[in-house]
Amino acid sequence: MITLRPATETDLPNVSEWARAAYAPYVARIGREPAPMVANFAAHLADGDLHVIEADGDAVGYSVHHMTDATLFMENIAVDPQRQGGGIGRFVFDHLADLARAKGAARIDLYTNAKMTEALAFYDRLGFRITDQRIEDGFDRVYLSKDV
Protein backbone atom coordinates (compact mmCIF):
# COMPACT_ATOMS: atom_id res chain seq x y z
CA MET A 1 0.00 0.00 0.00
CA ILE A 2 1.35 3.41 -1.01
CA THR A 3 0.20 6.69 0.53
CA LEU A 4 1.19 10.36 0.66
CA ARG A 5 1.05 12.35 3.85
CA PRO A 6 2.00 15.91 4.76
CA ALA A 7 5.61 16.07 5.88
CA THR A 8 6.61 17.17 9.36
CA GLU A 9 9.76 18.83 10.61
CA THR A 10 11.07 15.46 11.77
CA ASP A 11 10.96 14.26 8.14
CA LEU A 12 13.39 16.92 6.88
CA PRO A 13 16.62 14.91 7.43
CA ASN A 14 15.17 11.94 5.51
CA VAL A 15 13.89 14.19 2.72
CA SER A 16 17.35 15.68 2.24
CA GLU A 17 18.89 12.20 2.27
CA TRP A 18 16.42 10.90 -0.35
CA ALA A 19 17.12 13.91 -2.56
CA ARG A 20 20.88 13.44 -2.34
CA ALA A 21 20.66 9.68 -3.00
CA ALA A 22 18.16 9.89 -5.85
CA TYR A 23 19.86 12.74 -7.70
CA ALA A 24 23.53 11.86 -7.04
CA PRO A 25 23.87 9.86 -10.28
CA TYR A 26 23.16 13.02 -12.27
CA VAL A 27 25.87 15.26 -10.77
CA ALA A 28 28.60 14.22 -13.22
CA ARG A 29 26.22 14.33 -16.18
CA ILE A 30 24.95 17.83 -15.37
CA GLY A 31 28.27 19.14 -14.08
CA ARG A 32 26.87 20.26 -10.73
CA GLU A 33 24.32 19.22 -8.14
CA PRO A 34 20.78 19.18 -9.53
CA ALA A 35 18.43 21.71 -7.94
CA PRO A 36 16.63 19.13 -5.74
CA MET A 37 19.89 18.33 -3.97
CA VAL A 38 20.08 21.89 -2.64
CA ALA A 39 16.36 22.67 -2.34
CA ASN A 40 15.05 24.52 0.69
CA PHE A 41 12.83 21.76 2.05
CA ALA A 42 12.10 23.70 5.24
CA ALA A 43 10.48 26.41 3.09
CA HIS A 44 8.48 23.79 1.17
CA LEU A 45 7.35 22.35 4.51
CA ALA A 46 6.32 25.80 5.76
CA ASP A 47 4.33 26.35 2.55
CA GLY A 48 2.54 23.00 2.98
CA ASP A 49 3.99 21.69 -0.30
CA LEU A 50 6.18 18.88 1.07
CA HIS A 51 4.71 15.38 1.31
CA VAL A 52 6.21 12.07 2.38
CA ILE A 53 5.61 8.94 0.32
CA GLU A 54 5.03 5.80 2.37
CA ALA A 55 5.05 2.26 1.02
CA ASP A 56 3.79 -0.53 3.27
CA GLY A 57 4.19 1.77 6.27
CA ASP A 58 7.78 2.78 5.51
CA ALA A 59 8.71 6.33 4.49
CA VAL A 60 10.47 5.91 1.13
CA GLY A 61 10.48 9.30 -0.58
CA TYR A 62 8.91 12.70 -0.96
CA SER A 63 6.98 14.94 -3.29
CA VAL A 64 6.95 18.72 -3.48
CA HIS A 65 3.83 19.89 -5.28
CA HIS A 66 1.29 22.68 -5.13
CA MET A 67 -1.80 23.93 -6.87
CA THR A 68 -1.75 26.96 -9.13
CA ASP A 69 -4.84 28.55 -10.67
CA ALA A 70 -5.33 25.86 -13.31
CA THR A 71 -2.69 23.21 -12.68
CA LEU A 72 -1.00 21.03 -10.13
CA PHE A 73 2.71 21.80 -10.32
CA MET A 74 5.14 19.02 -9.39
CA GLU A 75 8.24 20.80 -8.15
CA ASN A 76 10.27 17.79 -7.12
CA ILE A 77 9.93 14.09 -6.39
CA ALA A 78 12.40 11.49 -5.16
CA VAL A 79 12.15 7.89 -4.07
CA ASP A 80 14.84 6.04 -2.16
CA PRO A 81 16.95 4.40 -4.91
CA GLN A 82 16.57 1.02 -3.21
CA ARG A 83 12.78 1.31 -3.65
CA GLN A 84 12.72 2.66 -7.22
CA GLY A 85 11.21 0.59 -10.00
CA GLY A 86 8.36 -0.82 -7.93
CA GLY A 87 5.54 1.46 -9.09
CA ILE A 88 5.86 4.08 -6.34
CA GLY A 89 6.41 6.98 -8.74
CA ARG A 90 3.53 5.87 -10.96
CA PHE A 91 1.25 5.68 -7.92
CA VAL A 92 2.23 9.19 -6.84
CA PHE A 93 1.43 10.63 -10.25
CA ASP A 94 -1.88 8.75 -10.44
CA HIS A 95 -2.74 10.10 -6.99
CA LEU A 96 -1.77 13.64 -8.02
CA ALA A 97 -3.93 13.37 -11.16
CA ASP A 98 -6.90 12.47 -8.93
CA LEU A 99 -6.06 15.36 -6.61
CA ALA A 100 -5.73 17.79 -9.52
CA ARG A 101 -9.11 16.76 -10.95
CA ALA A 102 -10.76 17.05 -7.51
CA LYS A 103 -9.44 20.60 -7.18
CA GLY A 104 -10.58 21.56 -10.68
CA ALA A 105 -7.14 21.58 -12.31
CA ALA A 106 -6.83 20.72 -15.97
CA ARG A 107 -3.32 19.29 -15.91
CA ILE A 108 -0.12 18.47 -14.08
CA ASP A 109 2.97 20.49 -15.00
CA LEU A 110 6.58 19.78 -14.09
CA TYR A 111 10.13 20.21 -15.28
CA THR A 112 13.28 18.15 -15.25
CA ASN A 113 16.82 18.53 -16.47
CA ALA A 114 17.41 17.68 -20.13
CA LYS A 115 20.30 15.42 -19.09
CA MET A 116 18.05 13.34 -16.84
CA THR A 117 17.09 11.07 -19.71
CA GLU A 118 15.72 8.37 -17.40
CA ALA A 119 13.28 10.90 -15.90
CA LEU A 120 12.24 12.09 -19.35
CA ALA A 121 11.56 8.50 -20.40
CA PHE A 122 9.55 7.88 -17.21
CA TYR A 123 7.43 10.99 -17.77
CA ASP A 124 6.87 9.99 -21.39
CA ARG A 125 5.60 6.58 -20.23
CA LEU A 126 3.19 8.37 -17.88
CA GLY A 127 1.78 10.40 -20.77
CA PHE A 128 3.54 13.72 -20.21
CA ARG A 129 4.43 15.79 -23.26
CA ILE A 130 7.21 18.35 -23.65
CA THR A 131 5.88 21.90 -23.73
CA ASP A 132 9.07 23.97 -23.48
CA GLN A 133 12.82 23.82 -22.98
CA ARG A 134 14.97 26.64 -21.67
CA ILE A 135 18.03 27.50 -19.63
CA GLU A 136 17.13 28.62 -16.09
CA ASP A 137 19.54 29.15 -13.19
CA GLY A 138 22.20 27.50 -15.35
CA PHE A 139 20.13 24.32 -15.84
CA ASP A 140 18.79 23.02 -19.16
CA ARG A 141 15.19 22.49 -18.11
CA VAL A 142 12.57 20.59 -20.03
CA TYR A 143 8.98 21.48 -19.15
CA LEU A 144 6.29 18.82 -19.45
CA SER A 145 2.55 18.69 -19.04
CA LYS A 146 -0.16 16.07 -18.81
CA ASP A 147 -3.89 16.68 -19.05
CA VAL A 148 -5.88 15.12 -16.25
DSSP state string for 116-145: -HHHHHHHHHTT-EEEEEEEETTEEEEEEE
Written as tens digits, the pLDDT of the chain (148 aa) is 899 999 999 999 999 999 999 999 999 999 999 999 999 999 999 999 999 999 988 999 999 999 998 899 999 999 998 888 888 989 999 999 999 999 999 999 999 999 999 999 999 999 999 999 999 989 999 999 999 9
DSSP state string for 86-100: SSHHHHHHHHHHHHH
Which sign does the torsion angle of CA 32, 85, 123, 62 carry? negative
Q: How do 58-67 and 71-79 pair as beta strands? A: antiparallel
Residue 108 CA to residue 82 CA, distance in Å, equals: 26
At the top level of CATH, the class of 2-147 is alpha beta
